Amino acid sequence: MTITEKLLARAAGRDEVEPGEVINCKLDLVLANDITAPIAIGEFAKMDAERVFDPEKVMLVCDHYTPNKDIKSAEQTKLVRDFAREQGIEHYYEAAGGGIEHIILPDKGLVIPGDVMVGADSHTCTYGALGAFSTGVGSTDAAAAMALGECWFRVPESIEVVFTGELGPWVSGKDLILYLIGQIGVDGARYQTLEFKGPVIESLPMAGRFTMCNMAIEAGAKSGIVAPDETTMTWFEGRSDRKPSVLASDDDAEYVRTVEIDCNRVEPQVSFPHLPENARGLSEVGEVIIDQAVIGACTNGRLEDLREAAKVIEGRTVAESVRCIVLPGSQEIQLEAVREGLVESFLEAGCLVSTPTCGPCLGGHMGVLAAGERAIATTNRNFVGRMGHPESEVYLASPAVTAASAIAGKICGPDEL
């Protein structure tokens, strides 16, 4: 079996499962946020459920419109907060100790290798970087999961994605996943698991792995996953008292197909509007003037991402025509960025450094675009109207390329500055 099939089999109380089977699984965690949780809480009540299945296994994170941008978002947050208090849910995050859900859950050791979990947010697939099965569900399924601690799945087929060669200058996990989506398309892995492996993945730090699994959904995948290795366990050490389960695919596991990518041929990538699959190498971008640059989001809001951006920005000044917005992924990351002098570098360069939030990624707040404006961002989606007005444009790139573009006032790489 593949690692995904092994994870689901164990959660289903089975010795083995096969792709295509519909199974019920016991869940280790259930996640919802300030947009999806209010709907789930309403459905929870309609089911006549009285208590969540386990208050220690339900995670509620208010991050999309937090700090609250208006009365409606404040009321949604209050609804979630009140529910958490009523149910005795320990892991409720909004202000102190909070941040973007898909960054704080692994950082706090709440999700660990071997877990099977669902979240009412499509980028729940992020945790596959730890060797967990994690996927997004709708709010109704999340409500049932909160009540029962179970969810049904159709066992997905797996696509083996093997990355060979060596990474060139400024090429990161973000570039690898954008390149892959450019090759297979936004529906190239529909309801399948993308299993990332190969020598390049083995040498890729956890931040890059989180980014790649985060954007598995942008290829239509049910989940993304990297089998735990020494890098995983070193990163995980000291984060949780729970015992991890380290699994791997069998040598004779069956894949629906194998995709091989020679990383020697991959340069920094930029995805053009209005789909992530519109990926081009930096040398093919041409002249694209920008109005805004966003560094952050659940895709690239980690400390390593801020370091990469600061390395490019330090000692330089953001172009007068550009708003460069930096959003650390959590309060802890923000504090460490202050201690390391990263925030000082950003502010001296003319960046706007804000509190941890999803904010502009979904066109929510702190960076909404007007008609005709263009943004380059480390976020994960560039659909029509994703960051604001339907006539605005969003280009996706790594922290290094986004930072360089903020300095130049147009899309470019660090080596062009």
Q: pLDDT for 107-117, tens place per residue? A: 999 999 999 99
Residues 246 and 297 in one domain: no
Residues 252 and 280 placed together within one structural domain of the fold: no
Distance CA(306)–CA(78), nearest Å, equals: 31
**What pLDDT, in 10s, does the model give residues 324-346?**
999 999 999 999 999 999 999 99
The per-residue pLDDT for 412 is 97
**240 and 280 assigned to the same domain:** no
Place of tokens 């995050």: 93
**Terminal Cα distance for the chain, rounded:** 48
Residue type present at position 40: A
Mean pLDDT of 188-217: 97
Query: Letter for the amino acid at 146?
Result: M
pLDDT cut 90: percent of the chain above it: 99
Q: How far is CA 411 from each of CA 34, 291, 319, 346, 401, rounded to the nearest angstrom?
A: 33, 10, 12, 19, 7
Mean per-residue pLDDT, 259-271: 97
Residue 119 has which token pair? 């979240």
Helices (H), 230-330: 230-236, 297-300, 303-313
Domain final residue pick, 231, 260, 289: 260
Q: How confident is the model at residue 320 (pLDDT cuts 50, 70, 90)?
A: very high
What pLDDT score does 371 carry? Answer: 97
290 and 336: one domain? Answer: yes
Q: Which pLDDT does position 232 carry in this prediction?
A: 97
Same domain assignment for residues 225 and 311:
no
204-to-104, 200, 229 alpha-carbon distances in Å: 20, 6, 11
Asked whether the beta carbons of 358 and 73 are under 8 A apart, the reply is no
The whole-number pLDDT of residue 240 equals 94
| Torsion of the alpha carbons at 360, 362, 364 and 367, rounded to the nearest 10 | 20
Give per-residue pLDDT as tens, 362-413.
Answer: 999 999 999 999 999 999 999 999 999 999 999 999 999 999 999 999 999 9
C-alpha separations of 370 from 219, 294, 341, 367, 392 in Å: 28, 15, 32, 10, 6
pLDDT classification of 92: cutoffs 50, 70, 90: very high
Determine the pLDDT at residue 25.
97
Kindly tell me the number of DSSP H helices and DSSP E strands found in the chain: 14, 18
Average pLDDT, the chain: 96
Question: Residue 379: its pLDDT value, please?
Answer: 97
* Environment class of 34 (CB within 10 Å of its CB; exposed 0-12, middle 13-18, buried 19+): buried
CA–CA dist 350, 40 (Å, integer)? 41
111, 240 contact by CB (below 8 A)? no
Task: Give residue 78's pLDDT.
Answer: 97
275 within domain boundaries:
yes
Task: Give the pLDDT band (50/70/90) at residue 350.
Answer: very high
Grade residue 126 by pLDDT with cuts at 50, 70 and 90: very high
Spell out a b/e string for 103-127, using b for 16 or more CB atoms within 10 Å of the CB, else e: bbbbbbebbbbbbbbbbbbbbbbbb
Same domain (yes/no): 232, 326: no
From residue 232, alpha-carbon distances to 208, 212, 242, 358 in Å are 12, 14, 15, 26
Q: Residue 298: which pLDDT band, with cuts at 50, 70 and 90?
A: very high
Cβ-based neighbours of 13, under 8 Å, separated by 6 or more: 26
Segment 111-134 shows an average pLDDT of 97
What pLDDT does residue 241 have?
Answer: 92
The reply to whether 166 falls in a domain is yes
pLDDT at 334: 97
Q: What tokens were used for 325?
A: 């917005």
Q: Same structural domain for residues 103 and 199?
A: yes
Which pLDDT score, from 0 to 100, does residue 181 have?
97
Pair (249, 277) in one structural domain: no
Same domain, residue pair 246 and 299: no
Contacts of 230 (CB under 8 A, 6+ apart): none
Same domain as 171, residue 34: yes
Q: How confident is the model at residue 233 (pLDDT cuts 50, 70, 90)?
A: very high
Examine the fold and report which residue of 210, 239, 260 is the final residue of a domain before the chain moves on: 260
Mean pLDDT of 264-293: 97
What is the extent of the structural domain holding 64? Answer: 3-260
